[in-house]
Amino acid sequence: FADWWRKSYKKVGKAQRKGFNSTVILGAWTLWNHRNKGVFDGAALSLQAAHQFFKDELRLWGLAGAKKIQDLFQERVHS
C-alpha cells in the first residue's frame, strides 16, 4: 500500500498532492471503519454503505478545514 501511495503521489500534480494524500487517508479510514462495523457490530457490509460513509466524511473533513481535499473533488465534479 505504501509503495503504491508513494508511486501514485509522484504522478499527481504538485497543486493536488495535499488533496490526493487526504483522499488516500480518507479511503483507508473508510475501509478500516467499514470493516470494523462488520466485525465488531455485526453490520452487513456493502459497497453502497462504504461509499456513503466516504461522502459523509468528505463533507465533514471539508467543514473541518481540509480545503485541499475539497478543491480536488470540486475539480473532478466540474471537469
Tens-digit pLDDT profile for residues 3-12: 999 999 999 9
Q: Which residue has the cell 508513494?
A: 6
Residue 77: predicted pLDDT: 47
Residue 75: predicted pLDDT: 55
Could you tell me the residue ranges of all domains in the chain?
2-78
Query: How many other C-beta atoms can be found within 10 angstroms of the C-beta atom of residue 36?
Result: 11
Q: What is the pLDDT of residues 28-79, one digit of tens each?
A: 999 999 999 999 999 999 999 999 999 999 989 988 988 888 787 775 544 4
One-letter amino acid identity for 4?
Answer: W
C-alpha cell at 78: 466540474
Residue 78: predicted pLDDT: 45
First to last CA, the chain: 28
C-alpha cell at 30: 473508510
Residue 76: predicted pLDDT: 54
